[in-house]
A and B are shown apart, each in its own frame.
Chain A
Amino acid sequence: MSANKWLATGNFFTTYKQEQRTFLTNLDQSIFTFFLVVLFSWPLLFHLSNKSMLVIDNILIAIVAVMGLNLVTGFAGLISIGHAAFVGIGAYTVASFCRTMGDSHIIVTHFWPLLIIISGFMGALFGAIVGLPALRLKHLYLAIATLSFQMIFQWVINFMSFFNQGQTIFVGRVFWVTGKVGRKDHYLFWYFVILTTVVLLGFGIRNLMKTRYGRSLIAVRDNDRAADAMGMNPGLTKVYAFALSGFFAGVAGALHAYLYRGVGFESFTLHESISYLAMAIVGGLGTLNGSFWGPVAINFLDLKVGSLAEVVGQYMPSGMNLATALKPFTFGLVIVLFLMFEPRGIANWWRITKSYTKMWPFRY
């Protein structure tokens, strides 16, 4: 047995099963558990306004979506410019239940976890269909195929009367064991639901990457010729990668629909797709923790620049146009700077910090 399970020093593996641990030391595990407890308990201790809670919920939903995008773009190396459309598929799955059964039908309000999972599978189904060109196309050509899906999605939503031509479709208030979730607790309730989803899906990815289903993704990214020779079907693996990312996107979409209590097409446009891609890049492609950093960073940047623009608008009304242009400008600038100076994203800073603190106070 290993001598000391709490520190990395003297922590030896004697069986291959021990090597499969998610956390290297008990210390890591305790810190993580503590962090989770804090995440779950702080909203009960400090009461935040609904507006701030909405921002946080939004970030968490973006994390779910970006985790999916990271699977297909980061791990499997397939650029997807249609991710918002997959998120839309999830949201519109919920919406279509509301349209056919009424927005306060018992399935929508009581069986919402089921509906979220169904949305995930719908996302996966569409992901697999959109991924089919991956059997033939590569690199940028495949990216264009996903872009076309984004366009088709927007067009279909805008022209189908079933989907209210893209106008808002209402989703009813859900029930929890304590009864109907009211206006006051709505954002707090969904904070807990989405956070739980993030944790579950995060562990799912973590586990997956330790198995052949995760390794095959990396194999087709690094060298699909060799992957083929090693007994993986590269085409199918790519389709599977799209399906997997579609599942995450579908879940994110359903959560989005419930959180906003409505589905409108403007939340699933090309602009959103690019934002997700930016979050994945800024966070760090091909890393799990990058999926957490990216949405947080981009959303906070958006928020700060937005409030800066307001301040500028107050004092210099003539500069208002310039100030509103600041948002897309900084967004673009941040992406360019990251691509130039830190292509591995914030996740790399995290890695450096971790290895530094591990050795501290020694330099090597």
Chain B
Amino acid sequence: MAQLNVSDVTLSFGGLKALSNVNMEIEPGLITSIIGPNGAGKTSMLNCISGFYHPTQGEIYYKDKKLTHSSPHQVSSMGIARAFQNLELFSGLSVLDNLLLARHQNLNYSFLHAVFFFGKASRVEAENRGYVESIIDFMELEPYRNSLVGNLSYGVQKKVEVARALTLAPDILLLDEPMAGMNQEEKEDIVRFILDIQKERYITVVLVEHDLGVVMDISDRIYVLDFGQLIGSGTPEEVASNPKVIEAYIGEE
């Protein structure tokens, strides 16, 4: 059974249908990409999954749990993490603090422990710091550990954004255009990280991306949206030869 099941999801804002009757099945351990022209509803789809929007119709299931009406913090505590398209980092804090913040749900010590900072709080925080360090290590962010996120370059901030989502220790990682606005070298870098995330950490990746070259290279499955409708799905080869997809991207002959 699919890890994440999107069945018949419709999302409308007044008269505008951002998504209509979209079905998706996201298989565990694979890289699934969602592509489509601008305004096709890709980010809306991610917003529905991560709980920022609630579908007007249809249901979203994660394993057996229904998360159609869950709020973002509930979704993330179930094990679905998300990196944002426009950087939504805590810009006044250091990279380290940004990552520590993401561990909120994984730390369980009481308020009293926190105020006096003895025993459990201190121990858990030390372990937590160790875990965050492993993510910093994984994402190769060591040089920036203590620098303010707001002062870092765009490419590094994008990396921090992915790292922060990863710090939640998710089962599914939703990446919203992690390569937007990057040069070729930075893109290759991120692609390497995405593949590492899948292979080494066994995390299912859902990728929304405009760079078709990247998507065709690394995806196991692709869903194509156009004007909120699912116009094609399958392996990269199937999608590339799908006449509807070609029409949406290149236009009719």
Contact = CB atoms under 8 A, between A and B. Distances in A.
A19 B129 contact: yes
Given A19-B129, A207-B115, A211-B114, A231 B122 contact: no
A210 B116 CA distance: 11
A139 interface: no
Contacts of A234: 73
Given A207-B121, A213-B111, A216-B101, 14 more contacts: A207-B115, A210-B117, A212-B104, A212-B114, A213-B114, A218-B101, A219-B90, A219-B101, A223-B89, A225-B88, A229-B72, A230-B168, A231-B73, A234-B73
A265 to B, nearest CB: 32
A228 interface: yes
Interface string A223-246: 101111111111000000000000
A207 B112 CA distance: 10
Interface of B: 50, 52, 71-73, 76-77, 81-82, 84, 88-93, 97, 100-105, 107, 109, 111, 113-117, 121-122, 125-127, 129-130, 133, 164, 168
Contacts of B113: 211
A343 to B, nearest CB: 13
Contacts of A228: 52, 71-73
Contacts of B52: 225, 228-229
Contacts of B104: 212, 215-216, 219, 230-232
A20 interface: yes
B77 A231 contact: yes
Report which residue of B84, B116, B117, B129 has the largest number of chain A beta carbons within 10 angstroms of its beta carbon: B117
23 contacts: A15-B126, A16-B125, A16-B126, A16-B133, A20-B117, A20-B122, A20-B126, A207-B116, A210-B125, A211-B125, A212-B103, A212-B104, A213-B111, A215-B97, A218-B97, A223-B88, A225-B88, A226-B90, A228-B52, A228-B71, A229-B73, A230-B73, A230-B104
Nearest to B102: A230
Contacts of B129: 16, 19
Given A20-B126, A212-B107, A207 B76 contact: no
Contacts of A204: 115-116
A230 B160 CA distance: 13
Contacts of A266: none
A184 interface: no
Contacts of B164: 230
A215 B94 CA distance: 12
A348 to B, nearest CB: 14
Nearest to A22: B117
Closest 10 CB pairs of A and B: A231-B105, A207-B117, A211-B114, A222-B90, A226-B88, A228-B72, A16-B129, A16-B126, A231-B76, A230-B102
Nearest to B96: A19
B130 A16 contact: yes
Nearest to A225: B88
Contacts of A333: none
A17 interface: yes
A17 B123 CA distance: 8
Interface string A300-311: 000000000000
A298 B50 CA distance: 47
A270 B125 CA distance: 40
Contacts of B130: 16
Contacts of A214: 114
Report which residue of A20, A219, A229, A233 has the largest number of chain B beta carbons within 10 angstroms of its beta carbon: A229
Nearest to B109: A211
Given A212-B107, A231-B102, A226 B89 contact: yes
A278 B97 CA distance: 29
A234 B100 CA distance: 17
B92 A222 contact: yes
Given A210-B117, A219-B101, A20 B92 contact: no
Contacts of A232: 73, 104-105
B105 A229 contact: no
B76 A229 contact: yes
Interface in A187-215: 204, 207-208, 210-215
A171 B148 CA distance: 50
A229 B143 CA distance: 26
A212 B168 CA distance: 14
A173 B84 CA distance: 59
Contacts of B88: 223, 225-226, 229
A207 B102 contact: no
B170 to A, nearest CB: 10
A283 to B, nearest CB: 18
A306 B208 CA distance: 64
Report which residue of B89, B111, B115 has the largest number of chain A beta carbons within 10 angstroms of its beta carbon: B115
Contacts of A231: 73, 76-77, 102, 104-105, 168
A208 B113 CA distance: 9
A207 B121 CA distance: 10
Nearest to A233: B73
Report which residue of B73, B111, B113 has the largest number of chain A beta carbons within 10 angstroms of its beta carbon: B73
Report which residue of A20, A204, A214, A228 has the largest number of chain B beta carbons within 10 angstroms of its beta carbon: A228
